[in-house]
Amino acid sequence: MTSAPNTVSEQPRHLTADVLVIGWGKGGKTFAGAMAGQGKTVVMVEQDALLYGGTCINIACVPTKALVHEAARRREGDDPREFFTEAVQFRDTLIGKLNDVNLHMLLDQDAVTVVDGRARFVGPREVEVTPSAGGQGVAEHLRISAETVVINTGAVPVMPPLEGIDHPRVYDSTTIQHADPFPRRLAIIGGGPIGLEFASMFRDFGAEVTVIARGEILAGDEPEVRDSVVKVLTEEGIILRTDASAESIADAESGEGVVVRIADQDPVQADAVLVATGRKPATEDLGLDAAGVETDEQGAVVVDEQVRTTSEGVFALGDVHGGQQQTYLSLDDHRVVLSAVTGDGARRVSDRVAVPATTFITPPLSTVGITEAQAREAGHSVKTAVAQVEKIKAMPRPKTLRDARGVIKIVVDADTDLLLGARLFHVDSQEVINLLALAMRAGVTATQLRDGIWTHPSSTEALNEVLGQLG
C-alpha cells in the first residue's frame, strides 16, 4: 500500500517571511500588497484558485449583483432557463477576469509568494500547508513561519441539521448561482438579506419563489420600511411564509422536484431549495489551538480593538472574527492592522461609526444608523421624515427608470439636528446611503442636507423634499 503524498510525515520545505496571510479576502490581499510595497516579504496562502481575490469578488457580492442586474433585464417573453444560462455565462466571464486581475496584483510582485494550499497552524506564527492543485502559485508541502500572521479565511454558509439537507437539489448561496437545471419553482429557507436577494433575483429570472422565514421579514426594523418591502416582494409574486420552521427536505411524492416540510404549516413544493440561513466564520481545521488563538462560541476568532488575536503577532481580518459580514469592513480591518504594524497604532475598530449596508433586492434597501424606536430607547428627542418614493415630487429619477416603488425614512436628533439613522428603499439607494453615512460621520446636519445642491435628475435630490418635512 502506497502512502498518500504530501502528508505531515514528509519533511516540508520551510519558508520564512515577514508577513503570512491566510486567505485571499479583501482585507488580506490589500494588507499583503501594502506590506510588499514597503519592501516586506509576503506569503499569501489560498486553498482554492477559484477564490483568488476573495469571497466577495468570486462567489458573493460581485457575481450575485451581476446576476441581480441581469435578471432585471429579462423581458416578459424571454425564456427563464435560456436567460438564466446567458446571465450565468456573463457572470462567469466577468468573475474570471476579476479573479485573474486579483491573482496578478500579488503574483507579479517580487516580494510576494503565492502558495496554493490549505494552511494549518502547527505553532505560534507557523503553519503547515497541504498543497492544492489548479492554481498558479507554489503548490507543495510547506512549513511557513512569519513575524506577522493574518488570518483572513472569511465565512462559509451555515447548513442547518435538517433531514434531507444533503439532497442533490439543495443549494447554498454559492452553488445556486450555477443551478442546473434552472429551478422554475424555488424554495428559499431563510428570510435574511441573502435569502431576500436571491428571492428577488430568481423571481426576476422568472421562477416561482417561496421564502420560508422563521420570524417576520425585517423584524425590528422601521415598520414603514418593512411594510413597503413586504408589499413590493408580494406584488412581485414572491410567497412569504413567515413564522415558519423547515423540518425536512425530501423527494416529492409526485416524483417531480422536492418538498420542504414545515412545522404546523402546509409543505412547499419546489424544483430546488436554497438554504440561506446565514454564514459562520471559517475557522474549522485551522489548528488555532496550536497557535494560541482563541475563538468564541460561534467559532469566530477573538480579537481586540486592533483585531489582534490572543496570540502575539497574529491578527484576524474580516468575517472570520465575527460581527457584520461586509467586504468594506474587511478593508477597514487592513487599515487597523497597518496602523498597528507600521503606523502609530492609533486606529481602532471602535472608530467606525455610521457603517452603511445594502440588501440588493429590487429596488435596493439601504440602511445606516439606528431606527426611530432605538433612538427613543437611547433617550434621544427624535424627529422623523417619511415619504413614499412615488409621491416625492423632487425625485423624478425613479420614475424615469420606471420604478418609483419604495419609501424613505430618516431619523434626526431634534436637539442637535444630526442624523441618527436612515432607511432608503428605492432606486439608487446603495449610492445615496453613502452620502448619509458620510454626513453622520462628519456632523453634517439635516438642515444642511435639506438645503444641499444636488444633481438633477438624481435620487439624492429627494433629500431636499423629504428633509423639508422637518421644518
Which CATH number is 26's domain given? 3.50.50.60
* Same domain as 368, residue 316: no
User: What is the model's pTM?
Assistant: 0.94
**Domain housing 46:** 13-156+280-351
190 carries a ligand binding annotation: yes
pLDDT digits (tens, 9 = 90+) for 211-222: 999 999 999 999
Query: Residue 10: pLDDT above 70?
Result: no
Query: Residue 8: pLDDT above 80?
Result: no
Residue 191 among known ligand-binding residues: yes
CA atoms within a 13 Å half-sphere pointing along the CA-CB vector of 82:
5
Same domain assignment for residues 342 and 262: no
Q: Which of the four pLDDT bands, split at 50, 70 and 90, describes residue 52?
A: very high
Residue 164 domain-assigned (yes or no)? no
Active site residue 334: no
Q: What SS3 class is residue 446?
A: helix
At which of 277, 298, 315 does a domain end? 277
Share of the chain above pLDDT 70, in %: 98
Please check the confidence at residue 157 and state whether its pLDDT lies above 70: yes
Annotated binding-site residue? 193: yes
Q: Quick check: is 3 in a domain?
A: no
CA 137 to each of CA 47, 104, 108, 132, 207: distance values in angstroms, whole numbers, following the listed order: 11, 10, 11, 10, 41
Q: Same structural domain for residues 149 and 26?
A: yes
Is 255 among the annotated ligand-binding positions? no
Residue 358 has pLDDT above 70, yes or no: yes
**For residue 269, how many C-alpha atoms fall within 13 Å in the half-sphere facing its CB?**
6
pLDDT at 115 over 80: yes
**From CA 467, how far away is CA 470, in angstroms rounded?**
6
The candidate with the shortest Cα–Cα distance to 171, out of 208, 198, 203, is 198
Cα–Cα dist 33/263, whole Å:
51
Rounded Cα distance, 22 and 118, in Å: 9
Structural domain ending residue among the three candidates 351, 377, 410: 351
At 471 the pLDDT is 77
Which residue, 318, 351, 384, sits at the end of a domain? 351
- Residues 94, 54: Cα–Cα separation, whole Å: 15
* pLDDT tens digits, one per residue of 421-467: 999 999 999 999 999 999 999 999 999 999 999 999 999 999 999 99
Asked if residue 195 belongs to a known ligand binding site, the reply is yes
pLDDT tens digit sequence for 274-286:
999 999 999 999 9
**Each residue's pLDDT tens digit, 229-263:** 999 999 999 999 999 999 999 999 888 899 999 99
Residue 195 lies in a domain: yes
Q: Are 39 and 128 in contact (CB under 8 A)?
A: no
- pLDDT at 2 > cutoff 80: no
Specify whether 180 is located in the same domain as 211. yes
- Residues 387 and 329 placed together within one structural domain of the fold: no
pLDDT recorded at residue 11: 85
The response to whether 65 counts as a known ligand-binding position is yes
Residue percentage of the chain with pLDDT more than 90: 97
